[in-house]
Amino acid sequence: MSRPVIGIASYLEPARWNIWDTRAAVIHESYVDGVTAAGGRAVVLPPDDRDADVLDRLDGLLLPGGVDLAPHHYGQARHPETDTEQRLRDAAELLLLRGALDRDLPVLGVCRGLQLLAVVHGGSLHQHLPDVLGHTGHCPREGVFGAHEVEFAPDSVLGSVYGRRARVNSHHHQGIADAGPLRVTARAGDGLVEGAEDPAHRFVVGVQWHPEVSGDHALFARFVAACGRPGLAPATPLTPLTEPAAPIGAPS
């Protein structure tokens, strides 16, 4: 029996290998590993803003982390700290996400993916968290992950995966200001939204942290299981993270 087929949105970046030095459609291998380890078949989707018909051949959609979503998509002017717009990536991922929601296709959003979910649901973002929170704990510096505790709503997908609390990694300078009609199901100690879900769909979940980097495959297992078609063997459940941790604070 075939595995659930999970599309992972990729993006265009300069890359070098063998004799080549050119732009390539890339995605961090850890996303592929997370899907594969949970029993899914990963398919990498290059950015394409023409249509979302590929979704008719998929069982689920994973939207990864990456550069900031252009703020005009949620009615704001660009903050000086906001990344330069990647128009094709924004257009392609927004098209895929709206198409997946229309089809009730399971969706997992990671970091930027959570922010896309909020914006598509009519919400908005904080463009630079230190301006709002007064600390850089969610991204100590570029390329360095922070870590903090997250508390989960007990009657939620994330709560059923992680328990009441878990310690997660953190590398983002933007965050959810308004989640729209999404249900916020995880928050950091400073009140920032760390996870949200859309109960109107069979599985639409976004998280602000990076489970693919930490090697925590519990959420991938739940996602791939939700993508399973009738007759497919279920994904193997993994042990959730439940150990307590200290709340987030300003870095020393």
Catalytic (active-site) positions: 111, 210, 212
Cite the beta strand spans of 46-171 per DSSP E.
Answer: 60-63, 107-110, 124-126, 146-152, 165-170
Per DSSP, 73 falls in state: G
Residues 179/193, Cβ–Cβ less than 8 Å: yes
Quote the CA–CA distance of 138 and 170 in Å, as a whole number.
5
SS3 of 155, please? coil
Tokens of 181: 């009609």
Per DSSP, 247 falls in state: P
Helix, strand, coil in percent for the chain, rounding step 5 = 25, 25, 45
Q: Between vectors from CA 105 to CA 103 and to CA 106, what angle results, nearest 5°? A: 155
List helix spans (H) across 62-133. Answer: 87-103, 112-120, 129-133
How far is C-alpha 108 from the geometric centre of its chain's CA atoms? 6
